[in-house]
């Protein structure tokens, strides 16, 4: 049974599911006739030269198979007998190594290993019987690869002309985590209309480029480089029917086209990734294929994504394969990363097209953008979707929580409620210029200014958080209840918000793990802005919201001082200071807390700002134990311990007044000689140990770290800037 196909005989091109129509069009453009799509592949007719071109030029196929025979295969013995009836020497000799790719099963052939073993035995035994020699079996790099596909009691035998999956172009020796296969990347680009965008002078940007697969496939398309040109071998080269002269002519033509393509004026192709190790791999891949002048990559997180400015780029494609599994963390965090990506694309790339490949449509929707087309594809066995966006006619959805203001007439308020409303309104007016000038979105509006109304009122964008201080003994419970009722009536009127936008809690002293305990289980996270940072708060589920407003000034200060420094955040809570440091240009951030809740919250905050964990390390640990084993030193440290804790994860209880000297000394031991430690706590009546002031330079900066909204309650926290003494 010769494998030479000089007449128009059928071939089979295998491909990932979902790419069949694209592959059929590609093969037709090469000269194939009678293309017939089936699941994960396309049958087509044409001479052997066409199969050569398909192996060399197909950007979408996995393999090009030459069907040889359809065999009976009801059981292993029948399969052996049928294979023994084929004249194998007509195709290849015993000096060639072989491998069997076997798929499928039936009632008798119950696993692929058994099917492959019986097939191998039949072929080897045939050669021993006919020519006295046996071919060797080589699983990884055989000369001849045979494909046998079992369907019920029939087996389709084919020779793999490609000799291994065609997605392996040869330029990628090392990839990042969860790499995208090259032929799937090519399909994404074709569905996103990249060739036409490039033909009109458009550029391409991948904000999460990984090892540069999408970038290089895009460059090879516009430079007219055959995807198989870098492969070292093809399966057909070891067949008796191979026409070397014909193959060399096809190969020579491809090399000439690639040389001319590289010399042409090509579009701008740029890639970014937050991981410097991955960027180095990308640069190696780009150099290996010789496209350094076309494809350029640099280390940059999504938070810093912007359109290149070295020349006008009114037209282009933003394309990426963001994480949608274990690569950067859990789905809850990735929602905020996708949202950041959507915001950046809309602001920075107006007029461009965009394509996002994801296996999770919820994450795709989290961008907030409206896609005009969705293509179903498969990334291996994972069902995925390609979402296409037009950034010239789009807008973010769900970016601001809608609130309906309920306006009540002031004269409907009781005397007490009116008195409370007047004070809140007066405070808001006093802070208005500061709020507008500094663009403050979250601040304290009222803090028990009138002792009878013992509540703290905080604004978080359009939402209001009210914490009722527990009434001291001796206060009439009925009077306290009546005053809270007056607060509930007055706030919607004076703030112009609906009652549903106000959350009420009762504040009490926290001990041990109580600070971590849920008050509710709604799971609603609200995004608020603070300086350059976007931070997630939870107004319902915990006593605290995830953002201590009295530390706003300190966080902004850390953000200004973090550039180029290694930042350590001890008792990091939800990590808002770490986010500010990272956005401020910190070389690295390390955040330590013993609460899973807060570590996961920080992970979401990082993702929400387009930051990943490459340079932002999250550590779940008891800070005191962690300091004992810490190996690195830091330039900038925030130490903000609780006043008291007896959490079950600790060996002993912690009291900040009693234990802070040892804690500060341990922290100073990991601070560079020229570094800065900010030590803060909210213990009432706290005083800094005198011995510490003798050992280190300790400057009380409490007043500098309190914003205008905390001038009335200046004892809410104490803060020191602590540095090493010169020459110590």
Q: What is the pLDDT of residues 216-241, one digit of tens each?
A: 999 999 999 999 999 989 999 999 99
Tell me the percentage of the chain whose pLDDT exceeds 90: 78
Calculate mean pLDDT across residues 302-321: 92
Let me know whether 457 and 347 are in one domain. Answer: no
Neighbours of 644 (CB within 10 A): 18
| Cα–Cα dist 355/376, whole Å | 13
DSSP string over 374-427: EEEEEETTEEEEEEEEETTS---SS-S---------GGGS-HHHHHHHHHHHHH
* pLDDT tops 80 at residue 327: no
Let me know whether 46 and 110 are in one domain. Answer: yes
Indicate the pLDDT class of residue 472, thresholds 50, 70 and 90.
low
Let me know whether 382 and 464 are in one domain. Answer: no
pLDDT of residue 506: 84
For residue 356, give the DSSP letter.
Answer: E
* pLDDT tops 60 at residue 410: no
Strand bridging mode 154-160 / 144-151: antiparallel
* pLDDT tops 60 at residue 315: yes
Indicate the pLDDT class of residue 310, thresholds 50, 70 and 90.
confident
Let me know whether 295 and 186 are in one domain. Answer: yes
| Cα–Cα dist 234/141, whole Å | 11
* pLDDT tops 50 at residue 409: no
Query: Tokens at residue 609, please?
Result: 């700002």
| Residue 627, helix vs strand vs coil | helix
Q: Which of 254-263, 316-325, 386-395 has the lowest mean pLDDT?
A: 316-325
Q: Which of 41-45, 268-272, 286-290, 398-402 has the lowest mean pLDDT?
A: 398-402
Let me know whether 577 and 713 are in one domain. Answer: yes
Strand bridging mode 566-570 / 533-537: unpaired
Is residue 26 a part of any domain in this protein? Answer: yes
| Residue 676, helix vs strand vs coil | strand
Among the three residues 493, 508, 523, which one is the final residue of a domain in this structure?
508
CATH number at 437 reads 3.30.750.80
Considering all CA atoms of the chain, what is the largest pairwise distance in Å, rounded to the nearest integer? 110
pLDDT of residue 406: 33
DSSP string over 21-72: HHHHHHHHHHT-EEEEEETTEEEEEE-HHHHHHHHHH-SS-SEEEEEEEEEE
As a residue count, the chain comes to: 728
* CA 657 to chain CA centroid, nearest Å: 42
Is residue 601 a part of any domain in this protein? Answer: yes
Calculate mean pLDDT across residues 504-522: 58
Q: Which of 227-231, 253-257, 497-501 has the lowest mean pLDDT?
A: 497-501
Calculate mean pLDDT across residues 106-117: 95
Calculate mean pLDDT across residues 719-727: 93
Let me know whether 66 and 147 are in one domain. Answer: yes
More confident residue, 122 or 481: 122
* pLDDT tops 70 at residue 400: no
Is residue 25 a part of any domain in this protein? Answer: yes
- What domain count does the chain have? 4
Q: What is the pLDDT of residues 75-86, one digit of tens each?
A: 999 999 999 999
Is residue 270 a part of any domain in this protein? Answer: yes
* pLDDT tops 80 at residue 646: no
* pLDDT tops 60 at residue 48: yes
Q: Which of 24-38, 298-312, 585-599, 697-711 has the lowest mean pLDDT?
A: 298-312
* pLDDT tops 90 at residue 510: no
| Cα–Cα dist 631/107, whole Å | 61
CATH number at 57 reads 3.30.2130.30
Q: Find, among 213, 221, 225, the residue nearest to 196 by Cα.
A: 221
* pLDDT tops 90 at residue 649: no
Let me know whether 604 and 719 are in one domain. Answer: yes
Neighbours of 496 (CB within 10 A): 14
Q: Is the dihedral of CA 529, 534, 535, 539 positive or negative?
A: positive
| Cα–Cα dist 468/550, whole Å | 17
Burial of 142 (0-12, 13-18, 19+ CB in 10 A): buried
Is residue 367 a part of any domain in this protein? Answer: yes
Let me know whether 51 and 193 are in one domain. Answer: no
pLDDT of residue 404: 27
Q: Are 551 and 572 in contact, with CB atoms under 8 Å apart?
A: no
Tokens 């009781």 — which residue?
Answer: 414
* pLDDT tops 60 at residue 313: yes
Among the three residues 368, 390, 412, which one is the final residue of a domain in this structure?
390
Q: In terms of residue numbers, what domain contains 384? A: 182-223+266-390
Let me know whether 107 and 204 are in one domain. Answer: no
For residue 290, give the DSSP letter.
Answer: T
CATH number at 294 reads 3.40.50.150
Q: Are 273 and 208 in contact, with CB atoms under 8 Å apart?
A: yes
Indicate the pLDDT class of residue 127, thresholds 50, 70 and 90.
very high
The whole-model pTM stands at 0.77
Is residue 490 a part of any domain in this protein? Answer: yes
* pLDDT tops 50 at residue 328: no
Is residue 700 a part of any domain in this protein? Answer: yes
Let me know whether 61 and 98 are in one domain. Answer: yes
Is residue 412 a part of any domain in this protein? Answer: yes
Q: What is the b/e burial string over 599-633, where b = at least 16 CB atoms within 10 angstroms of the residue's CB? A: bbbbbbbbbbbbbbbbbbebbeebbbebbeebeee
Let me know whether 500 and 579 are in one domain. Answer: no
Q: What is the b/e burial string over 254-287, where b = at least 16 CB atoms within 10 angstroms of the residue's CB? A: beebbeebbeeebbbbbbbbbbeebbebbbebbe
User: What are the residues facing 375 on neighbouring strands?
Assistant: 386
| Residue 272, helix vs strand vs coil | strand
| Cα–Cα dist 610/303, whole Å | 4
Calculate mean pLDDT across residues 254-268: 94
Let me know whether 370 and 276 are in one domain. Answer: yes
Q: How far is CA 479 from CA 457, 473, 484, 615, in A?
A: 20, 13, 9, 53
């Amino acid at each position: 049974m010769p494998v030479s196909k000089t007449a128009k005989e059928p071939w089979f091109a295998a491909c990932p599911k979902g790419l069949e129509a694209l592959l059929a069009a590609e093969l037709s453009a090469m000269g194939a006739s009678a293309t017939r799509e089936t699941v994960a592949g396309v049958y087509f007719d044409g001479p052997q030269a066409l199969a050569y071109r398909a192996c060399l030029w197909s950007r979408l196929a996995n393999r090009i198979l030459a069907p040889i025979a359809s065999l009976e295969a009801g059981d292993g013995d029948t399969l052996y007998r049928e294979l023994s009836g084929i004249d194998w020497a007509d195709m290849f000799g015993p000096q060639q190594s072989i491998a069997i790719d076997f798929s499928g099963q039936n009632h008798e052939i119950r696993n692929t290993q058994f099917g492959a073993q019986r097939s191998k035995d039949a072929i080897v035994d045939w050669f021993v019987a006919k020519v006295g020699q046996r071919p060797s079996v080589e699983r990884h790099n055989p000369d001849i690869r045979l494909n046998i596909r079992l369907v019920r009691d029939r087996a389709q035998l084919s020779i793999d002309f490609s000799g291994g999956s065609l997605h392996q172009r040869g330029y990628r020796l090392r990839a990042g985590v969860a790499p995208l296969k090259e032929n799937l990347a090519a399909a994404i680009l074709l569905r996103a209309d990249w060739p036409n965008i490039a033909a009109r002078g458009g550029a391409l940007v991948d904000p999460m480029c990984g090892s540069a697969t999408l970038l290089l496939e895009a460059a090879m398309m516009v430079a007219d480089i055959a995807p198989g040109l870098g492969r070292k071998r093809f399966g057909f080269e070891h067949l008796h029917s191979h026409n070397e002269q014909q193959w060399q002519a096809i190969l020579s033509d491809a090399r000439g086209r690639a040389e001319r393509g590289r010399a042409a004026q090509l579009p701008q192709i740029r890639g970014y990734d937050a991981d410097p190790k991955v960027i180095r791999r990308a640069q190696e891949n780009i150099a290996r294929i010789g496209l350094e002048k076309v494809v350029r990559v640099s280390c940059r997180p999504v938070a810093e994504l912007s359109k290149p400015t070295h020349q006008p780029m009114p037209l282009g494609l933003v394309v990426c394969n963001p994480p949608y599994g274990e690569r950067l963390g859990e789905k809850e965090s990735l929602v905020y990363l996708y949202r950041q990506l959507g915001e950046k694309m809309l602001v920075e790339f107006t007029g461009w097209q965009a394509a996002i490949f994801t296996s999770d449509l919820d994450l795709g929707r989290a961008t907030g953008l409206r896609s005009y087309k969705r293509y179903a594809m498969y990334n291996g066995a994972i069902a995925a979707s390609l979402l296409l966006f037009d950034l010239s006619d789009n807008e973010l959805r769900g970016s601001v929580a809608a609130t309906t203001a309920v306006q009540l007439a002031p004269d409907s308020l009781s005397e007490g409620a009116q008195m409370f409303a007047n004070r809140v309104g007066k405070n808001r007016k006093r802070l208005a210029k500061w709020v507008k000038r500094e663009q403050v979105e979250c601040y304290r509006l009222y803090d028990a200014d009138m002792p009878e109304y013992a509540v703290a009122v905080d604004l978080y964008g359009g939402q209001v958080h009210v914490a009722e201080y527990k009434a001291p003994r001796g206060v009439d419970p009925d009077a306290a209840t009546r005053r809270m009722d007056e607060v509930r009536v007055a706030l919607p009127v004076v703030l112009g918000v609906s009652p549903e936008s106000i959350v009420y809690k009762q504040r009490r002293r926290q001990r041990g793990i109580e600070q971590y305990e849920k008050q509710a289980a709604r799971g609603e996270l609200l995004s608020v802005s603070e300086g350059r940072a976007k931070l997630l708060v939870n107004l319902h589920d915990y006593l605290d919201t995830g953002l201590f407003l009295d530390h706003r000034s300190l966080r902004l200060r850390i953000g200004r001082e973090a550039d180029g420094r290694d930042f350590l955040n001890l008792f990091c809570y939800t990590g808002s200071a770490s986010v500010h440091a990272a956005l401020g240009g910190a070389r690295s951030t390390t955040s330590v807390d013993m609460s899973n809740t807060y570590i996961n919250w920080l992970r979401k905050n990082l993702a929400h700002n387009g930051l990943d964990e490459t340079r932002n390390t999250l550590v779940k640990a008891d800070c005191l134990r962690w300091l004992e084993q810490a190996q690195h030193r830091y330039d900038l440290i925030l130490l903000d311990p609780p006043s008291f804790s007896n959490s079950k994860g600790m060996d002993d209880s912690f009291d900040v007044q009693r234990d802070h000297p040892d804690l500060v000394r341990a922290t100073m031991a990991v601070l560079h000689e020229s570094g800065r430690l900010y030590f803060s706590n909210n213990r009432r009546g706290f005083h800094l140990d005198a011995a510490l002031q003798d050992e280190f330079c300790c400057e009380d900066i409490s007043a500098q770290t309190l914003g205008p909204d905390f001038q009335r309650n200046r004892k809410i926290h104490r803060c020191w800037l602590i540095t090493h003494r010169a020459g110590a």
